Amino acid sequence: MLCFGTNTFDPLLDKVFDKEYTFITVPTVGTIMKEVPIMRVSKKYDVRLTEILDAAEALFSQIGYEKTTINNILEKVGIGKGTFYHYFQSKEELGDAVVARIVDYIATSVDTARSKPAINAHEKMIATLYALRINENPHT
């Protein structure tokens, strides 16, 4: 039998773990129960969002959108379903966010190429086409 509890007020454990942690109570030798702290890794919203998007984009690229499951993404990022659903309501919503991020990256790359003042129109066209290289997306 496992029992869960949370403690964030023990200064000794706060120094050891430097994070919010959870206790799980596990049976030990005999029938004595012992509390063992386990860490719950808390990350800033944008950091976790980027991790989820990176994992989804990589999996969509490797095995395809249809074959990628939410569980594949959870495993790759190391999060639970609750955390995933805090960010996205569905795999489809996640897919839309991945596409939007790629489009933003491409638009920024093209704008950067077009705004170089020291090059002529032909060079801007080449720089723009060069910026459109999808396989160079830094998110994958």
What's the pLDDT tens digit per position in 129-140? Answer: 877 775 555 554
Please tell me the distance from the alpha carbon of residue 19 to that of residue 42, in angstroms, as a whole number: 7
Pair (55, 93) in one structural domain? yes
CA 137 to CA 99: how far, in whole Å?
12
3-state class (DSSP) for residue 3:
strand
Of 28, 44, 46, 48, nearest in space to 36 by CA: 28
pLDDT digits (tens, 9 = 90+) for 16-36: 444 444 445 555 555 555 555
Average pLDDT over residues 75-79: 94
Phi and psi torsions of 120, nearest 5°: -85, 180
Instruction: For the full predicted model, state whether its pTM sits above 0.85.
Output: no
Q: Are residues 52 and 11 part of one domain?
A: no
Fill in the DSSP letter of residue 125.
Answer: H
The number of folded domains in the chain is 2
Provide the domain limits for residue 34.
Answer: 3-39
